Structure 1
């Protein structure tokens, strides 16, 4: 049976230039992903309604007609009682470093077998953050990487913290004020100061915006941006920076 563990962050796709890239709607495609979760025994954080309470679970099986799935339940009967009267479970997991999230709203407990289980109708949509086209790197915690973005209205430079960088673009935390981020919006003359490699100036185009809700309840907006018109020399500097940081990280991991 599933037991308590560290919860996963919830995420919500607010805007995207291509929703089809992230959202699966075909029942057969959704069922395929659910079966993959079952085959890999992926742990799922199942949030109860809109609360921070959660149950750790996993997909046990999917019906042959793709309409139903069976989930593991908690060892905590008090938690199971909360799930039994819930309107919705928001399920968050990861499969081979691909983030997956789906909601179920029609479910019931089945205690007829040797082990209790949760029987649910398959979700109508499934959100999947696929592997990126480019090699990605989570920004190192040893130093804060900042992207300076020029506000179109008053030309003021506003700092946005970089949370992800690759040769193709960056993901930044949307500043609380000063910039109106929206899908397909373009920002010119953005500046990244790469430690030991100097400044990189490029045009950024917003591709998607996600709301991230951390397990402690704090929220942040994350904007995925693509580099445009990036000179070869600057693209090479970014790749060298990524390789150096990854090399340093592996050296620390090896002690």
Structure 2
């Protein structure tokens, strides 16, 4: 049996300790912490709370959605995502499927205790805007069905240790939440390039000052290596210093 206190090397924020996960979920339950329950890649969501954490049954019992139709959609979903801000920490996890049950005489939902969850300090997922005077790019190398490659160059709007905001002026990228791009090159200034894997979290149309309509994406880093994350954190620190210096009149 694997050591349950180990944290997966490919994500410094991913918790795999069953004891720690149960303790955290129980604490959230005791403090009536609200969670966002999301299905269909986040296109449908509901606010819920934890009613019971049963380690013996490997189950979490949750408040049901307010409508029967939404409960049916949740139960029929193959993946359910959860997100909460608890004690200034962002908690996210996913489970496969849910069951409708009755708990203390009222409708409820039940899911398995997740095998892992991600825990991010606010500092770690706060996004800082990138310089307008010296625009940076995020380049996507996309494999086509025939094996050929297409390169899509986007502008980097902001960055955090958790992901990036980008602008796709030519509207070439898929806007579907959950789509993963395996081969992306991220500019970090000073001729520094890092390779990252990005997942689309959301997309909104945006009208620029010249009247052009573009797509703006929020993307999350997936399976980011520690060395790349360290480079991104150094870059964020550098940006903060530069912006603080400008604000104080030192630059």
TM-score range, shorter chain: 0.5 to 0.7
User: 1:71 matched to which residue of 2?
Assistant: 62
Query: 1:110: how far off?
Result: 2.3
Query: 1:69: how far off?
Result: 1.0
Q: Say if 1:46 and 1:144 are closer, same or farther in 2 by CA, change over 3 A.
A: farther
* RMSD of aligned residue pairs (Cα, Å): 4.7
Check conservation: 1:202, 1:227, Cα contact below 8 A.
no
1:29 aligns with 2:20: yes
Check conservation: 2:38, 2:45, Cα contact below 8 A.
yes
**Structure with higher RCO (Cα < 8 A, 6+ apart):** 1
Q: How does 1:55-94 map to 2 (within 5 A)?
A: 55-65=46-56, 67-94=58-85
User: 2:128 matched to which residue of 1?
Assistant: 139
Q: Say if 1:66 and 1:21 are closer, same or farther in 2 by CA, change over 3 A.
A: farther
TM-score, normalised to structure 2's length?
0.56
Check conservation: 2:138, 2:186, Cα contact below 8 A.
no
Point out where structure 2 has 5 or more consecutive residues left out of the alignment. 1-7, 140-152, 174-180, 206-214, 222-227
Q: Which one of 192, 199, 202 corresponds to residue 211 of structure 1?
A: 199
Check conservation: 1:137, 1:242, Cα contact below 8 A.
no
Q: Say if 1:145 and 1:86 are closer, same or farther in 2 by CA, change over 3 A.
A: farther
User: 1:161 matched to which residue of 2?
Assistant: 156
Query: 1:122: how far off?
Result: 1.0
Point out where structure 1 has 5 or more consecutive residues left out of the alignment. 1-16, 152-157, 192-200, 248-255
CA separation in 1, counterparts of 2:12 and 2:115?
16
Q: How does 1:8-47 map to 2 (within 5 A)?
A: 18-47=9-38
User: 1:10 matched to which residue of 2?
Assistant: none
Query: 1:81: how far off?
Result: 3.0
1:173 aligns with 2:162: no
CA separation in 2, counterparts of 1:91 and 1:244?
39
SS in 2 for 1:21: coil
User: 2:102 matched to which residue of 1?
Assistant: 111
Check conservation: 1:27, 1:124, Cα contact below 8 A.
yes
TM-score, normalised to structure 1's length?
0.56
